[in-house]
Chains A and B, each alone.
Chain A
């Protein structure tokens, strides 16, 4: 059974002359454990698709099933709960709160989690160990290198043990060596059973994935 099932998805921004059709009847199915790259030119609708999949945005029309649940009918509070429990987000600018420590950054999803967690500190240390940056637990995010910041962002994405990791240009701000390291981490997470969806411009990044979906003008072209 697909973990993500999207049928005839439409997303329109604005109205009248300023109307922009970001998605035009897009359909997509993602199975549990897939690692998918979404590629396409700027403005093709790939980030909109990622936002809808990640319950950040709502479609104008069409159906989105997440693990069999109809997301269209969920309210804001339920959407927030889904973001917390089902998704881990990694974005291009690392999205760390610079005035927080590494510990506090990784803590954020756990602070909203309603799962029974015996020791939040253990979970954070486990995530940081997995990413090889446990020794930075007390460091301020501001003082980390670019590569370390992206590792912290990934640690935060996995700390709540989500099924799906959504990455929007995760290597866009990294040099090629660090980018490769990050992709190896994603590959390992996929091997561990996580479903991973990556939006990227880079073919090299897409080459790490089992499947590449190309979007043009709000539809899957290939």
Chain B
């Protein structure tokens, strides 16, 4: 009995792993497709290409930049060169920040971590037009917000904040900085930052503030802003001017990669991950399905006498098949609950549940047919 329970548990773990793997494969695949769709959405009105500035400087060089007190001026010069260059357009989204509120009544789904850090991005004016941001209430940042000198910082909030804040509310962070709510973004506002495969950033739970370079105080402010800047141009040759300027200032070594090229990288990476996970999944599924079918057949054989007694006393074959179904689908049900916890209610979850039901059906189909074709008298004879 203990051996049976252990085997059953082992098979449960295998099925659980398989179903969770299916959900991850679906999730990776959906993310890549979503990214492609969103990129197309952004690019359909853009005649030019968007380029990432990827910093390929060595770690020694980065240390040297940060240790050099004068480098802030050099970084400022490079940043201004990039932003004021007339041969291309740029936008900046600095996401290397988080926000901690002095008073927090937001629910847990807003926090990035258990310390209640919230998602904060600093953007420039061009960002708003590239990603077609719109407000459901209030207004986007006008040009003056990026040059503001006042102590209160304008603040755009994601759509989901509407239950917590109103326009013109003043929010205070843990450093004593004050933010004034100027607008709420439309639902499902987003931006793309395709350095990794999960590179769609939804803004429904984001704090958005204007990037104000005139208030930069530290070396890493410019570093962060430069590395968060994207170049929009139809001629890649224009990008070389940035590298040339950087070389002159003895700063970074950049790689310029277009969004389209990056998308190809992401898709290649995604497909190779799907292949790897799919291979592991097929092995796990093969062993777990064969194992569970054998387990069910063994269960039927060892419980023949019990089934016979139930049939003699008025039970029907359907109720015995139901027992087999319950035993199998209980495992599937538990695995699906875990998938729902991980992915919540989403297309990934729904398709994973559908896949798990298919797996369950494959597992029970042979034992169920075997049982349904057996007559009461056969079970009685076998039980003797």
Give me the interface of A with B, judged by CB distance under 8 Å. 51, 54, 56-57, 76-77, 80-81, 83-85, 89, 91-93, 95-97, 108-109, 112-113, 156, 160
Contact = CB atoms under 8 A, between A and B. Distances in A.
A81 B380 contact: no
12 contacts: A56-B311, A56-B377, A57-B376, A77-B316, A81-B314, A83-B311, A83-B313, A83-B314, A95-B305, A95-B309, A112-B310, A156-B313
Given A51-B377, A83-B314, A95-B305, 18 more contacts: A56-B311, A56-B312, A56-B377, A57-B375, A77-B316, A77-B318, A80-B315, A80-B316, A84-B314, A89-B312, A89-B313, A92-B384, A97-B306, A108-B309, A108-B310, A112-B310, A112-B315, A113-B314
Contacts of A95: 305, 308-309, 312, 383
B317 interface: yes
A6 to B, nearest CB: 17
10 pairs of A and B residues whose beta carbons are closest in the complex:
A84-B314, A112-B314, A109-B313, A108-B313, A80-B316, A57-B377, A89-B312, A97-B306, A56-B376, A83-B314
A96 B309 CA distance: 7
A156 B313 CA distance: 9
Interface string B355-384: 000000000000000000001110010011
Contacts of B384: 92-93
A200 B7 CA distance: 43
Contacts of A84: 313-314
A198 B260 CA distance: 85
A142 to B, nearest CB: 12
A95 B384 CA distance: 9
Contacts of A77: 316, 318
Contacts of B317: 76
A85 B314 contact: yes
A117 to B, nearest CB: 13
Interface in B311-339: 311-318
Contacts of B313: 83-84, 89, 108-109, 112, 156, 160
Contacts of A54: 312
Contacts of A97: 305-306, 309
Nearest to A52: B377
B314 A56 contact: no
Contacts of A85: 314
Interface string B117-137: 000000000000000000000
B380 A109 contact: no
A93 B314 CA distance: 19
B171 to A, nearest CB: 63
A163 B375 CA distance: 25
A61 B376 CA distance: 19
Nearest to A113: B314
A80 B377 contact: no
A208 B375 CA distance: 33
Contacts of B312: 54, 56, 83, 89, 91, 95
Interface in B25-64: none
A80 B376 CA distance: 10
B379 to A, nearest CB: 9
Interface in B285-305: 305
B380 A56 contact: yes
